[in-house]
């Protein structure tokens, strides 16, 4: 049992591959579903969630951390899907949102620019020039997004376990390669990797719950879970906000214990 994340360059054939791979493996296949679930669970607007995971942050969002709030909702939703394995997520940022889970196979699908332009022309009814500009714009937004949030180049091979060029390999050969790899012992769920997934699920639930509090700045908080014991470190503007963080976190499903060490105006607010 495993999880596969597919990062697909715009018009690289990754979406079709994802659906065919799901059929081959019998896995659940999701993409935009996490946006819909996040909107339903946390009362956020779908278009803002979609923008948060696809478009680079503006100067305003860098100041307000609005983007991090929406990403907290999205990560929690993805973790809810991923907790039971047998999942393929094809969309932007899956390999970042599930970082540290060893039974996640991280796949990147690329294609030559001319093939991507042709695909964009056919799918979106664009001229060749319009298609090229569209691809360049989307790639640029994604590059800025990952650089801002993770200080990483999203095209870097080091972020993935396998990179497939759909121009050179047929979709059938690509699927065969992925299936062989995902069935290897390297990507099978172990007690240790399942614990890591469970811990990520709980910490993401806490983060999403706190993201709903208007005065909480997620950029100031580090949230970690260990078998239901949650540790929150960071900074807060007031003791009232810290108390709200504590009470909200205690109500999150799966949380058994809270340990807080939050600085407030150069003082420390601790809960052991």
Q: Is residue 198 part of a domain?
A: no
**pLDDT of the residue at 143:** 81
Ranges of the chain with pLDDT below 70: 55-65, 265-272
- Co-location of 22 and 123 in the same domain: yes
Q: Which domain holds residue 142?
A: 3-187
The CATH number of the domain where 252 resides is what? 3.30.1340
- Co-location of 38 and 173 in the same domain: yes
Q: Is residue 67 part of a domain?
A: yes
And the tokens for 241? 């906000």
**pLDDT of the residue at 138:** 86
- Co-location of 18 and 57 in the same domain: yes
**pLDDT of the residue at 260:** 94
**pLDDT of the residue at 24:** 94
Q: Is residue 195 part of a domain?
A: no
- Co-location of 169 and 266 in the same domain: no
Q: Is residue 255 part of a domain?
A: yes
The CATH number of the domain where 36 resides is what? 3.40.50.300
- Co-location of 183 and 227 in the same domain: no
Q: How many domains does the chain have?
A: 2
**pLDDT of the residue at 270:** 66
**pLDDT of the residue at 59:** 47
Contacts of 86 (CB under 8 A, 6+ apart): 1, 2, 3, 25, 26, 27, 28
And the tokens for 75? 């990560």
Burial class (CB in 10 A: 0-12, 13-18, 19+), 100: exposed
**pLDDT of the residue at 63:** 46
- Co-location of 97 and 154 in the same domain: yes
pLDDT tens-digit readout, 149-193: 777 888 888 999 999 999 999 999 999 999 999 999 999 999 999
């Amino acid at each position: 049992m495993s999880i596969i994340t597919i990062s697909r360059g715009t018009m690289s054939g990754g979406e079709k591959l994802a659906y065919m791979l799901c059929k081959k493996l019998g896995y659940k296949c999701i993409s935009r579903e996490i946006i819909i679930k996040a909107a339903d669970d946390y009362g956020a607007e779908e278009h803002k969630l979609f923008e948060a995971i696809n478009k680079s942050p503006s100067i305003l969002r860098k100041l307000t951390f609005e983007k991090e709030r929406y990403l907290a909702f999205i990560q929690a939703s993805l973790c809810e899907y991923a907790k039971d394995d047998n999942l393929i997520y094809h969309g932007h940022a899956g390999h970042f949102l599930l970082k540290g889970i060893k039974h996640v196979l991280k796949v990147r699908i690329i294609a030559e620019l001319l093939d991507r332009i042709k695909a964009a022309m056919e799918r979106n009814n664009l001229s060749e020039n319009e298609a090229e500009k569209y691809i360049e714009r989307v790639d640029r937004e994604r590059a800025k997004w990952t650089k801002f949030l993770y200080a990483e180049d999203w095209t870097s091979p080091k972020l993935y376990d396998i990179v497939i060029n759909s121009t050179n390999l047929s979709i059938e050969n690509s699927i065969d390669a992925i299936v062989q790899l995902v069935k290897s012992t390297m990507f099978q769920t172990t007690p240790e990797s399942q614990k890591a997934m469970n811990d990520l699920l709980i910490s993401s639930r806490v983060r999403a719950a706190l993201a709903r509090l208007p005065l909480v700045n997620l950029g100031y908080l580090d949230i970690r879970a260990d078998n239901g014991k949650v540790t929150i470190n960071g900074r807060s503007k007031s003791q009232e906000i810290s108390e709200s963080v504590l009470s909200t976190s205690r109500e999150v499903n799966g949380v058994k214990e809270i340990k807080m060490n939050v600085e407030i105006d150069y003082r420390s607010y601790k809960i052991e």
